Amino acid sequence: MKTGKVILTLILALSLVSYKGSAQKKETKISTPEFDFSETEKNKFPEPVGYVNDFEELFTAEQKNELEKSISDYENETTREIAIVTVNSIAPYDNIADFATDLSNKWGVGKAMIDNGLVIVFSKSLRKIRISTGNGTEKILTDEICKNILDQTIIPEFKKGKYYSGIEKGLAELIDKWDGY
């Protein structure tokens, strides 16, 4: 009888050790992330609704229509693609330059083979603006040209609270420089 008790005790002890070991394995497996979600969060952009994506609701319907028509006509003439985007937030990004670049890449602004896109992203609430160009576009519309248009045309209008006027005038200048190449 003593041998039976010892065997039963060993079986129970081994069962408990085995059970405890598998529970620990499961805990370890659950606490170790298998996928890094930080990059996924950065890809959560709003879906584009057209050439003008006024998520901050700064333009009237008529102003949006005028910008849409100008950009559409320009694309039909040249194949160059332009998007205007207003946003309340650039989270989880720290700077608008990275946000604008990733947004334009995610949306596919510009023809892939010639990378001829241009995106103007701005936020009234954050007081930030960026012109992001595709690799093919930046050969013509350099960072210096874009910065000058921002500083001399768009931002002075924004400071007066004239967001549509700033974008309209800045867009006209960008197109003029792009065509003058």
Judge whether 140 lies within some domain: yes
The 3-state DSSP class for residue 40 equals helix
Which residue range forms the structural domain that includes residue 134? 42-179
pLDDT score, position 2: 56
Do 26 and 107 lie in one domain? The reply is no
The amino acid at 152 = Q
Whether residues 76 and 10 fall in one domain: no
Measuring CA to CA, which residue among 121, 46, 51, 59 is closest to residue 81? 51
pLDDT at 34: 36
Residue 113's pLDDT is what? 87
Q: Does one domain contain both 100 and 142?
A: yes
Same domain for 83 and 126, yes or no, is: yes
Q: Which pTM does this prediction carry?
A: 0.76
Do residues 23 and 109 share a domain? Answer: no
- Let me know whether 6 and 85 are in one domain: no
Q: Does 16 share its domain with 83? A: no
Domain identity same for 15 and 93: no
Cβ atoms of 152 and 170 within 8 Å: the answer is: no
Rounded Cα–Cα distance for residues 55 and 21 (Å):
53
Q: Which two three-digit tokens encode residue 155? A: 């931002």
Q: Does 28 share its domain with 46?
A: no
**Rounded to whole angstroms, what are the CA distances from 115 to 16, 138, 150?**
63, 9, 22
pLDDT given at position 112: 85
Flag whether 37 is in a domain.
no
List residues bridging with 2 in a β-sheet.
none
Is residue 69 located within the same domain as residue 151? yes
Q: What is the model's pLDDT at position 127?
A: 96
The SS3 assignment for 79 reads coil
Q: Looking at the structure, do residues 111 and 70 belong to the same domain, yes or no?
A: yes
What is the C-alpha to C-alpha distance for residues 51 and 58, in angstroms, rounded to an integer?
A: 15
**Tell me, what DSSP letter sits at residue 110?**
S
pLDDT by residue for the chain (181 residues), tens digit each? Answer: 555 454 545 454 444 444 444 444 444 333 333 333 344 455 589 899 999 999 999 999 999 999 999 999 999 999 999 999 999 999 999 999 999 999 999 999 999 888 899 999 999 999 999 999 999 999 999 999 999 999 999 999 999 999 999 999 999 999 999 998 7
